[in-house]
Amino acid sequence: MTPKPTIIDCDPGTDDAVALWLALGSPELDVRLVTVAGGNVGLARTTANARAVVGLSGRAVPVVAGAERSLLADFRAEPAVHGADGLGGVVLPEGPALAPGIAADAIRDTLRGAAPASVTVIGLGPVTNLALAFATEPALADRVAEIVLMSGAWAEGNITPAAEFNAWNDPEALAMLLHLGRPLAMATLDLTAQAFVTPALVADLARRPGGACWQAALRILGALPASKRFGHRGFPLHDPCAVAWAIAPALFGARQAFAEMDLAAGPSRGRTVIDRWGRLGRPANLTLLETLDAPAFFDLLADRIAALP
């Protein structure tokens, strides 16, 4: 097995933290760069959290700060979900210093040094950093093997009735990636709802031994608030689903589909209009993840994170 050279763009965020540990603990991925946007709780916190998560893993991966706002507006944070600190109040040791530079430049530098169609790019937040990188040097898109995003929904949203949080926070950036012309897979809210975490599941996972990363991941899962959308029974674990696709696509059922963004002002702004049945007659521009083997997913999550320091 040759590990996939991988760039992860994120905004930690509780589920981003778990997703980063899953990626860093998986031999299928050679994580070469972590870039950070403001997203969930503002850039000062998301960068500190990314540094702490990477530092606790013991992996020497550069973390580079990026966008504090979207292409056209400010990000809207979600401290009610992630806590004011972004990690649900779970305190981690401070990580290594940020690498110098800005995210879009670091993404381009990493791609320039890669072979054609070799790099997996995983986006776990608003994709502003990725859009800036490709908009300013579009020829580098040919170095990308696949883009994997946690974004969007084909049904209802979670930040507005129409839109999912990451897509809504920078819909113009997401529109750019949808039309980049590279293979793109999307884990939407409809998919991540199947990675459903309940108190009973957390208690079951806690029976597994593991190091500091696993213990921190369990504390984060135990701290997250139950979702109103799911009757306060638990919550979906969004971002690790995108990483799991890059590691173990056999866990998913998927189909080819066409998607475009609603960029108009008004209540539908940020909606991912996803044509699952070919009604528009447009050629597919993404692999839409539709079903998940949830027990196998949580086994993978536990096995990989528990093996970290």
Mean pLDDT of 217-227: 94
Mean pLDDT of 257-284: 97
Q: What is the mean pLDDT of the chain?
A: 97
Instruction: Examine the residue annotation and report whether 238 is marked as an active-site residue of this protein.
Output: yes
Angle between helices 43-57 and 14-24 (to 10 degrees): 30
How is domain 4-306 classified at the CATH fold level? Inosine-uridine Nucleoside N-ribohydrolase; Chain A (3.90.245)
Q: Are 64 and 31 in contact (CB under 8 A)?
A: no
What integer pLDDT is reported at residue 278 of this predicted model?
Answer: 96
What integer pLDDT is reported at residue 295 of this predicted model?
Answer: 98
Q: How confident is the model at residue 80 (pLDDT cuts 50, 70, 90)?
A: confident
What would the two tokens of residue 295 be? 């027990």
- Before 253, cis peptide (omega within 30)? no
10 - beta bridge partners? 36
Percent of the chain at pLDDT > 70 equals 100
| Rounded Cα gap, residues 224 and 91, in angstroms | 14
Question: Which listed residue (82, 179, 232, 238) is catalytic?
Answer: 238
Q: How confident is the model at residue 40 (pLDDT cuts 50, 70, 90)?
A: confident
What integer pLDDT is reported at residue 266 of this predicted model?
Answer: 95
What integer pLDDT is reported at residue 179 of this predicted model?
Answer: 96
Q: How confident is the model at residue 78 (pLDDT cuts 50, 70, 90)?
A: confident
Q: Residue 112: is its pLDDT beyond 80?
A: yes
| CB crowding 47-84: b at 16 or more within 10 Å, else e | bbbbbbbbbbbebebbbbbbbeebbeeebebbeebbbe
Q: Residue 1: is its pLDDT beyond 90?
A: no
What integer pLDDT is reported at residue 35 of this predicted model?
Answer: 98
Mean pLDDT of 178-192: 98
Q: What are phi and psi of 71, to 5 degrees?
A: -60, -35
